[in-house]
Amino acid sequence: MTRKLLWKTENSRRGFTLVELLVVIAIIGILIGLLLPAVQAAREAARRMQCTNNLKQVCLAIQNYHDINKTCPPLATTYNNYSFAWPDYCLATGVKIFLLPFMEQTPLYTLFDSDSKIVSPGSSYAHGSGTGGGAAWNYQVKITSYICPSDGKATDMSNKDTTPYTTMGKSNVVFCVGDSPRTCCYLDKWDSRDRNRTSGRGMFRIQQWRGLEFAVDGTSNTMAISECCSGDNFEQDVKGGLGVVSQLSPSGHGGNVNVGNCLLYATRSDNPRILNTPSNTWRGTHWPDCRAPSAGYSANLPPNSPACIWDNATPWIAGGAQSYHSGGVNVGMLDGSIRFVSDTIDTGDLTADQVLAGKSPFGVWGAMGSPNGGETTNSN
């Protein structure tokens, strides 16, 4: 009986051919290419959710402050010996500091309170001569609830300024000053031409303590806070910077303000992401700074557009709600709810000057910034 042995023929395969290997690599590459955007989108969704939660904490702090004091805190005011921020005499101590005890930051607020009692009169927190020059409680501190994790710059505490303040805790939270760009540094001392024309329609204004009853349009229809992007001194990027645009008031300090000119003149023609003339601002750079251009935004220019001031000595702020979220910004309403507002929200007539009463000329976005304009809003 013969046995047949089965031998592999010479034509039997011993492995993958080069073509097969290349096909497999191409398929894997395609799958990775499809997967990476999904992973990045999931990460951004998680960061946006964390940002929403942080804004929620700030809104709850505002409500808790109101429960105790029967008003919302002012955007900025004097406190003990802290008063002005050199050199433009804008009040700088304000809302972000006063909310600390309601955000589980009482020890930090205690340091601020102690330091403010021993600095020389007229000093600001930025230039105080108290223990540690103020650095112990503000420059080297990062307040998590004031930071959006989608802003990579905000987690970096370095500052390119050549002054001793090279380490700064940053902030992405800004407070709504209304639908008008006109804000005053100090209502008792600022030029009467500006003071008489300043719209006081926002919930957070200089030296003004306003209760929730001021929001006649309803707390669910009125913005309290939104986001800004962090930068450095003289930040050139639109995201995080503040442009100086003289055309914001074409006829001068006492004339009308055309916020639409910020969109026309703020950025370079060859690169719309770069400002023509960046201002020397700490917007988003130093978390306690509560000057209007540093901690405020006006509901006129659409979200994620350039933000502008008239000049470095004039505390107007046009626009200013910005984020690194795709397509819009988060806003916190006075009732504590958080909404996502699209960049394409109706902004009405951007060539209109401010109004002191009645409906906002700046569409739905302006209506959300005016507490008592007689409007109902829909941000969707």
pLDDT for res 132: 41
Q: Do 293 and 173 contact (CB within 8 A), yes or no?
A: no
CA 157, 319, 255: angle at the middle one, nearest 5? 125
CA separation (Å) from 255 to 76, 238, 296, 319? 25, 26, 22, 19
According to the 3-state scheme, what is the secondary structure of the chain?
CCCCCCCCCCCCCCCCCHHHHHHHHHHHHHHHHHHHHHHHHHHHHHHHHHHHHHHHHHHHHHHHHHHHHCCCCCCEECECCECEECCCCEECEEHHHHCHHHCCCHHHHHHHHHHHCCCCCCECCCCCCCHHHHCCCCCCCCCHHHCCCCCHHHHCCECCCCCCCCECCCCCEEEECCCCCCCCCCCCCCCHHHHCCCCCCCCCEECECCCHHHCCCCHHHCEEEEECCCCCCCCCECCCCCEECHHHCCCCCCCCCCCHHHHHHCEECCEEEEECCECCCCCCCCCCCCCHHHHEECCCCCCCCCCEECCCCCCCCECCCCCCCCCEEEEEECCCCEEEEECCCCCCCCCCCCCCCCCCCCHHHHHHHCCCCCCCCCCC
Residue 15 belongs to a domain = no
pLDDT for res 165: 64
Q: Do 89 and 126 contact (CB within 8 A), yes or no?
A: no
Residue 68 belongs to a domain = yes
Residue 376 belongs to a domain = no
Q: How confident is the model at residue 89 (pLDDT cuts 50, 70, 90)?
A: low
- 115-119, 145-149, 256-260: which has the minimum mean pLDDT? 115-119
pLDDT for res 88: 53
Residue 174 has pLDDT above 80, yes or no: yes
Q: Do 215 and 371 contact (CB within 8 A), yes or no?
A: yes
Check residues 120 and 191 and name the one with the higher pLDDT: 120
Residue 188 belongs to a domain = yes
Mean pLDDT of 68-87: 83
pLDDT for res 150: 92
Residues 6+ apart with CB under 8 A from 17: none
Residue 100 belongs to a domain = yes
Check residues 164 and 23 and name the one with the higher pLDDT: 23
Taking only the tens place, the pLDDT of each residue in 14-66 is: 666 777 778 888 888 888 777 777 666 777 788 889 999 999 999 999 999 99
Residue 379 belongs to a domain = no
What total of structural domains would you count in the chain? 1
Residues 6+ apart with CB under 8 A from 241: 231, 234, 235, 275, 278, 279, 281, 283, 306, 307
In the block, residue with structure tokens 């921020």: 85
Q: What span, in angstroms and rounded, lies between the C-alpha atoms of 352 and 257? A: 8
For residue 121, cis peptide bond before it (omega within 30 degrees of 0): no
Give this prediction's pTM: 0.86
Q: How many other CB atoms sit within 10 Å of the CB of residue 147? A: 22
Q: How many CA atoms lie within 13 A of 239 on its CB side?
A: 17
Residues in the chain: 380
Q: How confident is the model at residue 133 (pLDDT cuts 50, 70, 90)?
A: very low
Q: What span, in angstroms and rounded, lies between the C-alpha atoms of 225 and 256? A: 26
CA 352, 187, 218: angle at the middle one, nearest 5? 60
Residue 186 has pLDDT above 80, yes or no: no
Q: What span, in angstroms and rounded, lies between the C-alpha atoms of 368 and 203? A: 11
Domain extent at residue 179: 44-369
Q: What is the mean pLDDT of the chain?
A: 83
Residue 363 has pLDDT above 90, yes or no: yes
Taking only the tens place, the pLDDT of each residue in 196-237 is: 566 678 899 888 899 999 999 999 999 999 999 998 878 899
Mean pLDDT of 110-116: 86
pLDDT for res 266: 95
- Nearest CA to 308 out of 357, 340, 275, 343 is that of 275
Residue 27 belongs to a domain = no
pLDDT for res 39: 65
Q: Do 293 and 315 contact (CB within 8 A), yes or no?
A: yes
Mean pLDDT of 131-139: 60
Residue 10 belongs to a domain = no
